[in-house]
Amino acid sequence: METARKSFITGTVFKSSMIDALKKFSPAYMVKNPVMFVVEIGFMFVLLLTLFPNIFSNEVGEHDRLYNAIVAVILFVTILFANFAESIAEGRGKAQVQTLKKTKTVTQARVLLSDGSEILKQAHELKKGDIVLVQAGEVIPNDGEVIDGIATVDESAITGESAPVVKERGGDFSSVTGGTTVTSDWLMIEITSMPGESFLDKMITLIEGASRKKTPNEVALNTLLVSLTIIFLLVVVTLYPMTTYLNVPISISTLIALTVCLIPTTIGGLLSAIGIAGMDRVTQFNVIAMSGRAVEACGDVDTLILDKTGTITYGNRMAAEFLPVKGVESKELIQTAWLSSLTDDTPEGKSILSLACELGVNTDDEESIIKSSEHIPFTAQTRMSGLDMKDGTKIRKGAYDTIKKESMNAGYNIPTNMEQLIQQVSSVGGTPLVVALNDKILGVIYLKDIVKAGLKDRFDQLRAMGIKTIMCTGDNPLTAAAIAKEAGVDSFIAESKPEDKIQVIKDEQAQGKVVAMTGDGTNDAPALAQANVGLAMNSGTNAAKEAANMVDLDSNPTKIIEVVEIGKQLLMTRGALTTFSIANDIAKYFAIIPAMLMVAVPEMSALNIMNLNSPTSAIISALIFNAVIIPLLIPIAMKGVKYKPMSAAKLLNKNLLVYGVGGIIAPFIGIKLIDLLVGPLFHTFGL
């Protein structure tokens, strides 16, 4: 699922992120993150004690001042690392904006006029509906649809994919993006975007958009973190009179350091970065999320509703098999079917030619046959197409009823196994196309609605996540059942109407389910609005895009599966790092307190399982560990915890084992190692 479209961090991003991290020290900004704001208040207090050591007491030695300075430096670094994590997430987005802006170069367009002449215009002067000609080596001036020609297009500046993409009229690959480069041949393109409304403009607006709003889960988690912070503040405040009673002197700097170690600074410093990184991963898939809430909702999806045509299947019926009637050789049927499709430029016709060639049809006379024959196009009235050859040979393919009528009128008997072949194809959801030579029926072409490769495995993965898949199609129940079985969806709705989609969404939501769906038409708009996650195609209608909370700029309906996985990964990353952070705090509590109190209460030494050098080294070691663990976790926050489809119960158990137990063990190991390094130094300086 995860793309490798850009490295984790570049030198430019690092430099800009560090500058931004320093700017974020402003209290007006820090107050938005209550946990780190408490750390900043503590830093300012300790800095004040360092600069003015006698502010609270007249008996402050140089050792105390040095200790305060060390604590202040570590607290500063802790805040810096937390700000740095958020700045990196933002910096990656800013770097992407700069890349997109570079793509928006001043481009001249060759505009074709109605009289066949052409004029040159600047790209920003183009209007919707203009026809432009773009040749090899030229930049496509704005978003559009290919209306003629076939060429390869380099889209690496937009998508990051290095391999050129073939673009041609019709089908799924007719849409082109402004700023991409034609690398071969030529394309005639109809401009579909007004200035300022192109793919690039939308992406830049999204990434440069105003401050990201916190999602409901983030708000809830922030509330939890603030509550834990208050609890640990009360613990530290309560600790002071207890230690005074035990004649254990604890300085204000130590209390502040202890507070910072115990409150959830790790997740507090990474929480915003995790959310921004999640949005960034969605953007890398060329999906515009209207809000962080939409991405987050993807992680909670229980039911996925998919259209059949264009999502589960390619949308074009493809020739799968040639079935001759009794008394006809397979070779004769294939040759005749090939002839019937020579001038048929529909996807079905092209697929018949392709299959016939695979089966070894003789194509030597193709050009001469086309030149000397009359093409008979398909019409709704005749329901058949074919060729009338120069020698009088009549070749047709079409609907069974039409071909049957023509054959009977010519005096032929219908082959005895004809009805059986028609039923055979129809029973598996296929479309039978009958072939006739001079009105004599030769057999049937089995046209199949091809299921996209790999979808069955993807649906198995969704099932492992606990997500139910429902296919909606206008096909009859027989065809729908066959496609649903082949694709591997959990259920289907045949002969589906727009109101049926809305109803199934409401039914699922009534059971407490979170529902996602894709769509592109005006008739899909109500269902997209009703769904918790609505992914509209950029090639679709404005009504659909306005109703949805996500827009796929590549217009790939199956991308909803990737988006759901990104949402799952976002929630899992946030949960995993929260578990790790809280487990850290618990471990640090039991690591530090015994070391602090064992001088006054010797019995506490039994709990000092790490055998730390002194109370001072214990505090400083824990404080250093608390600071360095944040940058160590930044790569996980940015890239996300590696996600494997599994049930929620298994996922919870795995996270508790890896990040819960790991979060408890890591501080004991880390603090001990740091203590081994700083303990002797503190002993030398008498701390």
Name the burial class of residue 174, with classes exposed (0-12), middle (13-18) and buried (19+) by CB atoms within 10 angstroms of its CB.
middle
Cα–Cα distance, 187 to 674 (Å, whole number) = 64
Q: Which has the closest alpha carbon to 131: 109, 155, 150, 153?
A: 109
The verdict on whether residue 110 carries a ligand-binding annotation is: no
- Which amino acid is located at 32 in the chain? K
Measure the CA–CA gap between 551 and 540, rounded to whole angstroms.
Answer: 10
383 among annotated binding-site residues? yes
- Cα–Cα distance, 32 to 455 (Å, whole number): 43
Are 636 and 85 spatial neighbours (Cβ–Cβ below 8 Å)?
no
The verdict on whether residue 348 carries a ligand-binding annotation is yes
- Is 454:296 a contact under the CB 8 Å cutoff? no
**In angstroms, rounded to a whole number, what is the distance separating the alpha carbons of residues 551 and 519?**
10
Asked whether residue 117 is marked as a ligand-binding residue, the answer is no
CA atoms within 13 A on the CB side of 136: 8
Q: Is 379 annotated as a binding residue?
A: yes
Strand ranges in 276-391 using DSSP code E only, listed in sequence order: 287-289, 303-307, 313-324, 374-376, 384-388
Residue 602: CB atoms within 10 Å: 9
- Catalytic annotation present for 300: no
524 is in an annotated binding site: yes
Residue 213 labelled as part of a binding site: no
Q: How many CB atoms lie within 10 A of CB 328?
A: 18
- C-alpha to C-alpha distances, 159 to 151, 155, 279, 536, nearest whole angstrom: 18, 6, 16, 19
Residue with tokens 């709003």: 213
- How many other C-beta atoms lie within 10 A of the C-beta of residue 76? 18
User: What is the Cα 561 distance to its own chain's centre?
Assistant: 8
Question: Is 99 annotated as contributing to ligand binding?
Answer: no
CA angle 417, 421, 426 (to 5 degrees): 150
Q: Binding residue per annotation — 381? A: yes
| Residue 382, annotated as binding a ligand | yes
Q: Rounded to an integer, what distance in angstroms lies between the CA atom of residue 83 and that of residue 17?
A: 9
Beta bridge partners of 108: 122
Q: Is 108 annotated as a binding residue?
A: no
What residues contact residue 301 under an 8 Å CB cut-off, 6+ apart?
A: 467, 514, 515, 516, 532, 533, 564, 567
Instruction: Tell me if 436 is assigned to a ligand binding site.
Output: no
457 annotated as belonging to a binding site for a ligand: no
State the catalytic residue, choosing from 154, 201, 280, 307.
Answer: 307
- Of the candidates 596, 636, 600, 623, which has an alpha carbon nearest to the alpha carbon of residue 678? 623
> Any idea what the Cα angle at residue 444 is, between residues 373 and 380, rounded to 5°?
60
Q: How far is CA 340 from CA 334, 394, 397, 430, in A?
A: 10, 9, 6, 20
List the binding residues.
344, 348, 378-385, 397, 520, 524
Catalytic residue IDs: 307
List the binding residues for Mg(2+).
520, 524
List the binding residues for ATP.
344, 348, 378-385, 397
